[in-house]
Amino acid sequence: MSYTVKVKEEILNKEETTTEKIAKLAGFIKNNGLQKEEGLVLATENKQIKDRIKEEILSLMDINIVEKETAGNNFSKKSLYMLEIVDYEVLLKTLGLLNRDVVEEYIVDSNAEIRAYIRGAFLASGSVNDPKTSRYHMEIVVNQKEEAVFLQKLINIFMLNAKILNRDKGYMIYLKDAEAISDFLKILGANNAVMYYEDIRIYRDKMNRTNRLNNCEQANTDKIVNAALEELKCIEKLEENMALDLLDEKVQEAAIYRKKYPESSLKELSEIISLETNKKITKSGLYHRFRKIKDLANKFE
């Protein structure tokens, strides 16, 4: 079962008031219903959604609903469950959908009703990536530009910064920010899905931080090793040419300690020399001593 299906099936079972049910049905039918010769047709690949939508419509009014099931299209092997409603005008009036462009504002008059309308729209045509995947993404695809702008406005009441993308067939309202998607799931009322999402997101963030730290530490280690190898090569070059004695005692001392502690960083080596000789030498001071060794070694290239 996909993460999207889990989210949808969880919000189907959410307790709602009558006005919230009306708002949810409005959101679902506005973004799913098609007016055909046989009446208003609602279609979904999820049997639980089909059953719940039918149940809630019948809880509002006594209306004839015909159920049908067809095979999926070429891209989907799933069955398609359909609800056909012949005398649907009274239903659309109850749901504030007689004007097919935008739902009547009184349907979404409170935050609870706004959340319910968004739930209905998500049930109709929404999806959200499992947080285990490589990218965070939530989308609701709609046919009409007016509905896309309306849904975006409703979602952004909750400060989620939803955006719209014009696609070949319709419009996509989407979120890509991980925290915004988590907040969106809270708006839907999918509490179990939120806990799963947050657990995975926190784990991924922790792993990403650990990987960045490891990469940083590895880069620093490589830098230290490469610098030490270069210093050792320069010392070896001076020894081959019997030129080490041309340097003063402090620089020669640095060369001796580098050969003795070839894997130490400059900071570690400066601390070792200071401790063993009782002569304070800083990392910067040691760097300048090795600079002299390198300058002299370059003359023998």
Is the pLDDT at 37 greater than 80? The verdict is no
> What distance in Å separates the CA atoms of residue 232 and residue 211, rounded to the nearest whole number?
31
At residue 214, the pLDDT reads 72
93 exposure class (CB count in 10 Å sphere: 0-12, 13-18, 19+): exposed
> What distance in Å separates the CA atoms of residue 254 and residue 277, rounded to the nearest whole number?
11
pLDDT band at 121; cut points 50, 70, 90? very high
Check: CB of residue 102 under 8 Å from CB of residue 11: no
> Which CATH code for domain 3-189?
3.10.28.10
Check: CB of residue 3 under 8 Å from CB of residue 130: yes
> What distance in Å separates the CA atoms of residue 268 and residue 282, rounded to the nearest whole number?
10
Check: CB of residue 293 under 8 Å from CB of residue 231: yes
Structure confidence by residue, pLDDT tens digits, 84-116? 988 888 888 889 988 767 788 899 999 999 999
Q: Is the dihedral of CA 217, 223, 226, 229 positive or negative?
A: negative
Is the pLDDT at 292 greater than 90? The verdict is no
Most confident listed range (132-146, 148-162, 243-257): 148-162
Q: What one-letter code names the amino acid at 205?
A: D
Long-range contacts of 257-260 (CB under 8 A, 24+ apart): 258/228, 258/231, 258/232, 258/290, 259/232, 259/235
> What distance in Å separates the CA atoms of residue 176 and residue 129, rounded to the nearest whole number?
10
At residue 234, the pLDDT reads 87
Q: Which sequence spans correspond to the domains of the chain? A: 3-189, 222-298
Q: What is the pTM of this model?
A: 0.69
> What distance in Å separates the CA atoms of residue 71 and residue 82, rounded to the nearest whole number?
11
Residue closest to 68 by CA, chosen among 95, 38, 89, 25: 38
